[in-house]
């Protein structure tokens, strides 16, 4: 599928120093012990079993330093460069996630335990912000489904809601009147949450996530606009009713609950037909935006009975 292993990385990408670094960092870091122990090996096995779609071959990861220096993290700043240093003030150790609502095993789960239970995989995904810029990111993480299966959703669990950490003492915008209501919240339908492409990411390029990218644990939903991929998750709540996420609350006509990437549904203030890809430090000429960000083959069936223009 879209699980890419080092063996499959084309020569053109291997020349990027960041890619070379993956192996070394894994071997050196604590994360490595976990991921080499039982993580990357199942990922490789899975990748070998499943054919790679033709368009995955073209994916050229955006260099790490650009992914880390062009971030949206509104609790800290509306400026994509300022977040890099501002986010460093967030403390992320120790970290736990409270899982509540319609599950048989609610509780407070420590990050170390989650990492021990859920082997890490590398997934190279396209990432498309609603603002019409895009990147390609080699994430390290585990399927959200693995965690949800462990806590056993009940038959009442129809939606999964996520909440970001809120630390007003280090987050300048948390104290100001803002278009968003804090804490930052996002949600998925349970079948979207259980989809094998949906990831809880703890790293990228084989290293732990940078704080500005949502360390220590963030969501990644590659067929949806980036704002669904909530950072620094502290709560996961399973519910029967559809939650209202932060962006939908702020501007329901602009940021819908589904937020599936769709070139045919314009944002009220700009077209979504094309995107600027941040490839190697500069934006390359615009590329056509693909329905479901290129993942239609994997996810279109989730929306088979829905009018994609109405449910945007
Ligand atoms: N908590 C929180 N999560 C967030 C955001 C945010 O401001 N706060 N921004 C979202 C938006 S708009 C995007 S495009 C992605 C950006 O992820 P990146 O900065 O790691 O590229 O994070 C999403 N998750
Ligand atoms: Mo975004």
Q: Where are the domains of the chain?
A: 11-303
Cα 195 to ligand 1 centre (Å): 21
Helix (H) or strand (E) holding 48: helix 40-49
Non-local (6+) Cβ contacts of 105 within 8 A are: 99, 150, 151, 152
Cα 227 to ligand 1 centre (Å): 5
**Per-residue tokens: 265:** 């549904």
The pick from 227, 236, 248 for probing ligand 1's pocket by mutation, whose C-beta has the most ligand atoms within 8 angstroms, reads 227
Q: Where are the alpha helices (DSSP H) in the chain?
A: 11-14, 17-28, 30-38, 40-49, 64-68, 82-86, 111-117, 144-151, 190-193, 246-250, 296-299
pLDDT value for 179: 87
**Per-residue tokens: 24:** 């070394």
Residue 55 scores a pLDDT above 70? no
Cα 185 to ligand 2 centre (Å): 14
Please give the average per-residue pLDDT across 274-280, as a whole number: 87
Pick the CATH number of 11-303 from 3.90.420.10, 3.30.450.30, 3.40.605.10, 3.10.180.10: 3.90.420.10
The pick from 86, 226, 275 for probing ligand 1's pocket by mutation, whose C-beta has the most ligand atoms within 8 angstroms, reads 226
The overall pTM is greater than 0.95: no
pLDDT tens string 61-90 = 999 999 999 999 999 999 999 999 999 999
The answer to whether the peptide bond before residue 183 is cis (omega within 30 degrees of 0) is yes
Q: For the chain, what is the radius of gyration of the CA atoms?
A: 18
Q: Which atom of ligand 1 is nearest to the CA of 73?
A: 7
């Amino acid at each position: 599928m879209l699980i890419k292993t080092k063996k499959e990385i084309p020569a053109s990408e291997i020349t990027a120093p960041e890619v070379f670094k993956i192996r070394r960092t894994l071997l050196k870091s604590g994360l490595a012990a976990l991921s080499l122990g039982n993580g990357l090996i199942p990922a490789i096995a899975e990748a070998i079993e499943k054919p790679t779609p033709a368009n995955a071959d073209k994916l050229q990861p955006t260099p790490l330093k650009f992914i880390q220096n062009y971030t949206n993290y509104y609790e800290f700043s509306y400026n994509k460069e300022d977040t890099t240093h501002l986010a460093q003030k967030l403390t992320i150790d120790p970290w736990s996630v409270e899982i509540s609502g319609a599950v048989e095993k609610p509780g407070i789960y420590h990050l170390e335990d989650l990492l021990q239970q859920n082997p890490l995989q590398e997934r190279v995904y396209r990432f498309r912000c609603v603002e019409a810029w895009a990147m390609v990111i080699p994430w390290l993480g585990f399927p959200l489904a693995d965690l949800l299966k462990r806590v056993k959703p009940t038959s009442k669990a129809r939606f999964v809601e996520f909440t970001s950490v809120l630390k007003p003492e280090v987050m300048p915008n948390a104290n100001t009147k803002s278009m968003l209501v804090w804490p930052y919240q996002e949600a998925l339908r349970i079948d979207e949450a259980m989809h094998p492409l949906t990831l809880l990411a703890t790293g990228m390029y084989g290293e732990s996530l940078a704080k500005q990218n949502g360390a220590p644990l963030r969501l990644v939903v590659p067929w949806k606009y980036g704002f669904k991929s909530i950072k620094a998750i502290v709560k996961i709540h399973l519910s029967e009713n559809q939650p209202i996420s932060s962006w939908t609350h702020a501007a329901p006509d602009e940021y819908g609950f589904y937020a599936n990437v769709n070139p045919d549904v314009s944002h009220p203030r700009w077209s979504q037909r094309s995107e600027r890809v941040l490839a190697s430090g500069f934006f390359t000429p615009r590329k056509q935006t693909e329905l479901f960000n290129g993942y239609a083959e994997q996810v279109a069936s989730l929306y088979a009975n829905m009018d994609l223009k109405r449910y945007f």
